[in-house]
A and B are shown apart, each in its own frame.
Chain A
Amino acid sequence: MQPDRQQQQQGIDVAVLVSIGRHPTTGRPRRAEQDARGLELALAMEAELPGTRISMLHAGPQDDDSEAALRGYLGMSTGAGMGLESMTLLEQPEGSDAIPALAAHLANAAPQLVITGARAERGEGSGLLPYALAERLGWPLVNGLAAVESVENGVVTLLQALPRGQRRRLQVRLPAIISVDEAAPAARQSAFGPARRATFAITPTTPKADSELAQWQLAPARKRPKRLKIVKSASARDRFKAAAAKSEGKGGQVLTDVTAEQGAEAIYKLVKEEDVLR
């Protein structure tokens, strides 16, 4: 079986979407944590699946700060022959909506796999970009990726991370979008030399102002109160079990075959109960 599998394994075109990150303490621009993990995943695929071609994509303005941050990603490809000497910059002014530009470019370039971080570190950071892209392109989306295991005949086998260290193996037909969060392997070190040598392929776009964002008021985040999890137990063994056990989801309910109104009502009732809405 094994040799056959090897033969059917094939390299594919992978597009990695990267954003400008923001250091949590100092606010300095940097490579975003999750996006860097996404690139790490792609680089690991390249090492294991010969023929994999990586392209990197960023939509945003071109200036010194963002260039330094983007070069942080480019510094991650340190071997010869990795297709990362350049990245595509879809140039658009600050405050433009990235989704139409990315969707248009991806539809055109037609990569088989798109990898993105789950949530940006700047701007809205709503985590909706992968979903919006998937919707526009009509491609399946898998979130919380831990590993890409294999690619065979246009079907990719993925390992999805679930809470408490659980993993789920999924098979998805390409093209697809996958998003990564902290469950993916940590990004490798970025090296100065390759980062400095890399170039940007600047592609003009027809920028669309993010009308939603323009209406928003931005303020520094407040620390939200965290629900205390009280474990009443006498022994260390009980506490360990409580910490390691699968969440039992007590008190929850699974709604199937309900109308949108019924679903919304159920959610509304829950948030009332949980004191999220008062």
Chain B
Amino acid sequence: MLETLLPILIFTALALAAIGAVRRMRLWRQGRPSPVSFFKGLAAVPRRYLVDLHHVVGRDKMISNTHVATAGGFVAAAVLMIVVHGLGITNPLLGGLLLLASTSMFIGSLFVARRRLNPPARLSKGPWMRLPKSLMAFSLGVFLITLPMVGLLPEGLLEGNGGWLLALVLAGVVAWGLGEMFFGMTWGGPMKHAFAGALHLAFHRRAERFSTKNGGVGRSTGLKALDLEDEAAPLGVEKPADFTWNQLLGFDACVQCGRCEAVCPAFAAGQPLNPKKLIQDMVVGMAGGSDAAYAGSPYPGKPVGEHAGTPHGPIVALEGKSLVDADTLWSCTTCRACVEECPMMIEHVDAIVDMRRHLTLERGKTPNKGAEVLDNLIATDNPGGFDPGSRLNWAADLDLPLMADLKQVDVLLWLGDGAFDMRNQRTLRALIKVLKAAEVDFAVLGNEERDSGDVARRLGDEATFQSLAKRNIATLSQYQFLQIVTCDPHSFHVLGNEYGELGGPDVNANYKVRHHSTFIAELFEAGRLSFAPWKGGSVTYHDPCYLGRYNGEFEAPRNVLKALGIEVKEMERSGFRSRCCGGGGGAPITDIPGKQRIPDMRMNDVKETGAELVAVGCPQCTAMLEGVVDASAEVRDIAELVADALVERPAADAPDASRRPAANATAEEVTV
């Protein structure tokens, strides 16, 4: 009896799955077009899955092994089952392999079940709680129906009266498993992540973020530019259908593991943002409906079930509620911790900025100080509204070389808007002392420099960003330099990763940009700097998001600290898992209230290490962390630590003895 029932069950499930797949694809196709290389993408899936995705999943060895056993077992078992039981090719060897695959899957599902016994808060419940049972049903069912084939069970067991009942029960178990694994995969069950996830890997909007066989860097963090020339193109995302189709596909791939939620600084601070919920809301919007079925942590302070949306309805309502509230979108600090942790390679920050673009460019609804800052950027080229002619006032006594005079130098020092901030001016003065001590051939743009456009872009004002960027590119194109050095990771990111797209046919806007810590580390290695031994207390280091996660620079700042004789006491969350200071993405400007402040949490992290000093490498981080009341540690920029430790190089090391006196004089002149 099973011989007739099984093929029917299997092919019905497959047919239903195929119908579901077509329906699901039509949901994705509601999005705007986005060109992908179809066959190349599909061909890249195995590598992207086995290398890049597993690199992320493998950070949790238990889950990674569980997933290998379960998913690997399932894929093998499913294929073999179709061959053996669907097509009726009863080869004992295939049967043996099928037994092996289903056993592997069953063992994996035991571990899945164990994790679901007392699941952490970040995991979604609801349908996800039944998944381990469904996995077991499938693997056990397949195992049992395959046993007779390899002769491990007497042939006659499934015949006779009792056998009929047993066969029916077995068929029921298999049907349950098939329902979850085949039917549920394309009809919106938990297994949807496998179907959408595989296609998402193939057609990812940032194909360059994956590694290649030749050892590609696999980092793609710059936001994609809006085409402002095309007046018909929407300015950002108003409704779910305004996302590109592969963004929608990406949302659908979410496996609701909540790793993003666990690392999100805004969520931890009690601001109304949860990256996982946001992605699920996009899925709800894409399919149409309400978020009532969502079974994970809500946005802090916003109960589930009050929001609903449609593919062609607004995501943020003009009045009242629709899919997402605006303050959710403005809570994000664009720290990319969620993107870094996401095993499904979903791009949360892109989506948030896309939606912010609509709010700013079409509705003029940038909250709190947003409008003022944007107006300042338009009128004065800096967010504070300062006189652009006063950009170098802090360096009146330093006699800084200007690009306008020199035209050609090795290093263009990009000051950033910290030039208007009295705290950051100390950092800048320290950095200049270091550059002069190392006899670096450098110059600054001075009053020709403008804000890089970072804040404008992340507040959604792409028009102001592009205006600033294009004028900066025009200025930079007049001069010749080997590299740009800056102490502002935000400028670093924008100049290095986001200007390239905006250069014209005859203007190359791809610059070699270095953070000052990278540059100082190189100067030290080249023997151009000498330091006095460190006499201070214990030190920890805070990785700026825009230096670390955005640009992959984790080592250089630590190397500089090591060169200073400092042994860094690492915080629990450091390196690629560093927690944001709360200063990115215009978050201090939009200032969405939460239960606590993000920088306070970060200074608590510092306190836990017992460090007396926290070294930073970003003006935003300095400002945010120094703003913490009653902090246990002092906040110093790496440039300041280096400048304080500078000593004369031993005469023998000097590359050119005749230049020594001049260099000494310069270093002394620049006392901070």
Q: Which residues of A come within 8 Å of B, CB atoms? A: 23, 25-26, 28, 30, 75-76, 78-79, 188-194, 196-197
| A189 near B374: Cβ-Cβ < 8 Å | yes
Residue B26 at the A interface, CB < 8 A? no
Flag the segment in B72-80, B98-106, B321-329, B356-364 that touches A: B356-364
Whether the Cβ atoms of B385 and A192 lie closer than 8 Å is: no
Write out the residue numbers on chain B whose beta carbons fall within 8 Å of the beta carbon of A26: 379-380, 387-388
Shortest beta-carbon contacts, A-B, top 10: A191-B364, A189-B371, A189-B364, A193-B362, A23-B379, A192-B463, A192-B361, A193-B235, A193-B361, A78-B363
Q: B366: nearest residue on chain A (CB-CB)?
A: A189
Which residues of chain A are within 8 angstroms of B169 by Cβ–Cβ distance? none
Query: Can you report 16 A-B residue pairs in the complex whose CB atoms are below 8 A from each other?
Result: A23-B380, A30-B375, A30-B378, A78-B362, A78-B365, A188-B371, A189-B365, A189-B375, A191-B360, A191-B363, A192-B360, A193-B235, A193-B361, A193-B362, A196-B231, A197-B231
Assess the B318–A79 pair: CB atoms within 8 A.
Answer: yes
A-side contacts of B605, CB under 8 Å: none
Closest B residue, CB atoms, query A197? B231
Whether the pair A78, B231 counts as a contact (CB closer than 8 A) is no
Write the chain B residue with the least CB distance to A68.
B378
Residues of B within 8 A of A76 (CB): 364
Contact yes or no, A75 B364, CB < 8 A: yes
Report if B354 contacts A (CB, 8 A): no
CB-defined interface of B444-459 with A at 8 Å, one 1/0 digit per residue? Answer: 0000000000000000
Distance between A13 CB and nearest chain B CB, rounded to angstroms: 25
Chain A residues within an 8 Å CB radius of B235:
192-193
Contact between B379 and A25, CB atoms less than 8 A apart: yes
Q: Which residue of B lies closest to A75 (CB)?
A: B364
Chain A contacts of B386 at CB under 8 A?
25
Nearest chain B CB to A46's CB is how many angstroms away?
15
Instruction: Give me 7 other A-B pairs in contact (C-beta within 8 A), A78-B365, A189-B375, A193-B361 excluded.
Output: A25-B387, A26-B380, A30-B375, A30-B379, A188-B371, A190-B364, A192-B463
Q: Is B461 an interface residue (CB 8 A)?
A: yes
* Cα A79 to Cα B363 with chains together (Å): 8
A28/B379 contact (C-beta < 8 A), A189-B374, A196-B231 known:
yes
Chain A residues with CB below 8 A from B370, complex form: 189
B331-371 residues with Cβ-Cβ distance < 8 A to A are: 360-366, 370-371
Per the bound structure, the CA–CA distance linking A30 and B380 in Å amounts to 11
Residues of B within 8 A of A194 (CB): 362, 364
CB-defined contacts of B462 to chain A, threshold 8 Å: 192
CB contacts under 8 Å to A, within B219-252, are 231, 235
Let me know if A25 and B380 touch, CB within 8 A: yes
B106 to chain A, nearest CB (A): 56
Using CB atoms, name the residue of chain A closest to B234: A193
Measured CB to CB, the closest approach of chain B to A189, in angstroms, equals 4
List residues of chain A with CB within 8 A of the CB of B362: 78, 191-194
Q: Please, how many angstroms separate the alpha-carbon atoms of A233 and B95 in the complex?
A: 101
Bound CA span A25–B318, Å: 35
Distance in angstroms between the alpha carbons of A188 and B462 in the assembled complex: 19
**Cα(A171)–Cα(B76), bound, Å:** 84
Which residues does chain B contribute within 8 Å of A190, judged by CB atoms?
364
Nearest B-chain residue to A196, judged by Cβ: B231
Residues of A within 8 A of B387 (CB): 25-26
Q: Whose C-beta in chain A lies nearest to the C-beta of B390? A: A25
Bound complex: CA of A233 vs CA of B386, how far in Å?
36
> How far, in Å, is B153 (CB) from chain A's closest CB?
70
Question: Quick one: closest B residue to A25, CB to CB?
Answer: B387
Pairwise interchain contact B379-A192, C-beta atoms closer than 8 A: no
Give the CA-CA distance A141 to B365 in the complex, in Å: 33
Residue of A nearest to B359 (CB): A191
CA distance A196 to B463 in the complex (A): 11
B231 nearest in chain A by CB position? A196
Roughly how many angstroms separate A76 CA and B370 CA in the complex, as a whole number?
15
Smallest beta-carbon distance B259→chain A, Å: 36
By beta carbon, the residue of chain B nearest A188 is B364
A25 — which chain B residues lie within 8 A by C-beta? 379-380, 385-388
